[in-house]
């Protein structure tokens, strides 16, 4: 009897053939038929999508949620653990890619690269009226929220541009190469650019609130490559409209896909469709790790990358 997996979202659909080639029976959540729920032994999942406990309770044989992604904020891990459901994720595999994208957002927004492209294509470039000059990057203070794999990779890149790095996270890191601020608010107050690079959890939900946003200030910028849930997006939009925040470069949003109309008339923004983490280099590694976690689970071996929290 083959083991039965459930792919939780259409964006993971391309994995189906590979999973079937490994001998699994693969169901699709968006096409479930009668009796399917009773068969599901593991879910192949993208961690940013919410898996409601009510749905999980309808799967009596479920024993594993294997996240292809690094993040797993859509999964209630303590709830799963209490019911004997294990959770795995990709462990740091795309940190370099996410950090690359974070710098692309940072420079693209700070140095008017996206706005410049719009200007050239609209025929609004004329030599007598260039865009106003922007501050350079050298010497700018970048504050990183979360100094994990991604945050540290952002820090190393920022230093190559002559930026001055500090960070904040809930836990001190005695070996960190950069100073830790006293608090998230202190980090924001001391930064020209705040980069959100931490794992999302219940403790940091909307932690980047109106007060933190205003501390970054009218000449400052917020970059988010973590999760939309960490930022109070309504407060962010209001601050950008009022000029209390200078710029925002976002790869993640409160709701994804974010509605285009939500950003109409919001100045100083660069927006990408949650594309920081997936490259042709990182995706095969992440998928390979998912396959190995599935294999180990069904073989009764220790999982390769269980969620550690």
**Which residues are known catalytic residues?**
227, 256, 274
Q: Which one of 116, 217, 218, 288 is in contact with a second copy (CB under 8 A)? A: 116
Tokens for 183? 């608090």
Q: Name the minimum Å distance from CB 42 to a second copy.
A: 21
Residues near a second copy (CB under 8 A), total = 62
- Indicate if the alpha-carbon torsion angle 48, 77, 200, 97 is positive or negative: negative
Q: Which is nearer to a second copy, 1 or 160 (CB)?
A: 160
Q: Contact between 21 and a second copy (CB under 8 A)?
A: no
Direct distance between the N- and C-terminal alpha carbons of the chain, in angstroms, rounded to an integer: 33
Q: Which is nearer to a second copy, 38 or 50 (CB)?
A: 50
Q: Contact between 272 and a second copy (CB under 8 A)?
A: yes
Q: Contact between 17 and a second copy (CB under 8 A)?
A: no
Q: Contact between 28 and a second copy (CB under 8 A)?
A: no
Q: Contact between 32 and a second copy (CB under 8 A)?
A: no
Please, which residues have CB within 8 angstroms of residue 141's CB and are 6 or more apart in sequence? 163, 164, 166, 190, 191, 192, 193
Q: Which is nearer to a second copy, 54 or 261 (CB)?
A: 261
**Distances in Å between the alpha carbon of 177 and those of 159, 167, 180?**
11, 10, 9
Q: Name the minimum Å distance from CB 267 to a second copy.
A: 13
- The number of beta carbons lying within 10 Å of the beta carbon of residue 173 is 14
Q: Which is nearer to a second copy, 161 or 298 (CB)?
A: 161
What is d(CA 193, CA 221) in angstroms, rounded to the nearest whole number?
Answer: 5
Q: Are 113 and 104 spatial neighbours (Cβ–Cβ below 8 Å)?
A: no
Q: Which is nearer to a second copy, 61 or 134 (CB)?
A: 134
Q: Which one of 35, 123, 265, 300 is in contact with a second copy (CB under 8 A)? A: 123
Q: Contact between 257 and a second copy (CB under 8 A)?
A: yes
Q: Are 85 and 42 spatial neighbours (Cβ–Cβ below 8 Å)?
A: no
Q: Contact between 259 and a second copy (CB under 8 A)?
A: yes
What is d(CA 114, CA 117) in angstroms, rounded to the nearest whole number?
Answer: 5
Strands across the sheet containing 86-88: 25-28, 4-7, 42-45, 64-67, 86-88
Cis peptide leading into residue 257 (ω within 30°)? yes
Stretch 151-180: interaction string toward a second copy, x if CB under 8 A: -----xx-xxxx------------------
Binding site for a second copy (CB under 8 A): 9-11, 13, 96-97, 100-101, 103-105, 107-108, 111-114, 116-117, 119-123, 125-128, 130-131, 133-139, 156-157, 159-162, 256-261, 263, 270-275, 278-283
């Amino acid at each position: 009897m083959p083991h039965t997996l459930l792919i939780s979202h259409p964006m993971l659909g391309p994995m189906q053939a590979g999973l079937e080639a490994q001998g699994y029976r693969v169901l699709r959540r968006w096409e479930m038929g009668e009796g399917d729920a009773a068969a599901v032994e593991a879910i192949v999942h993208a961690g940013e999508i919410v898996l409601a406990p009510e749905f999980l309770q309808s799967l009596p044989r479920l024993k594993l949620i294997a996240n292809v992604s690094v993040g797993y904020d859509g999964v209630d891990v303590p709830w799963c653990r209490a019911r004997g459901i294990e959770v795995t994720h990709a462990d740091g595999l795309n940190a370099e890619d996410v950090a690359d994208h974070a710098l692309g957002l940072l420079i693209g927004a700070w140095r008017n690269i996206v706005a410049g492209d719009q200007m050239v294509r609209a025929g609004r470039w004329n030599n007598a009226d260039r865009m106003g000059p922007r501050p350079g990057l050298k010497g700018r203070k970048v504050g990183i929220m979360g100094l994990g794999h991604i945050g540290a990779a952002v820090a190393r890149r920022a230093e190559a541009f002559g930026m001055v790095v500090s960070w904040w996270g809930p836990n001190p890191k005695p070996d960190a190469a950069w100073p830790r601020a006293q608090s998230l608010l202190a980090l924001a107050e001391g930064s020209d650019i705040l980069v959100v690079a931490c794992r999302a959890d219940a403790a940091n939900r909307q932690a980047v609130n109106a007060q933190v946003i205003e501390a970054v200030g009218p000449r400052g910028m917020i970059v988010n490559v973590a999760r939309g849930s960490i930022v109070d997006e309504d407060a962010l939009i209001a601050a950008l409209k009022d000029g209390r925040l200078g710029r925002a470069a976002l790869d993640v949003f409160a709701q994804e896909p974010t509605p285009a109309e939500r950003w109409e008339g919001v100045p100083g923004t660069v927006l990408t469709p949650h594309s920081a983490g997936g490259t042709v280099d990182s995706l095969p590694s992440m998928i390979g790790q998912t396959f190995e976690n599935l294999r180990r689970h069904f073989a009764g071996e220790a999982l390769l990358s269980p969620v550690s929290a």
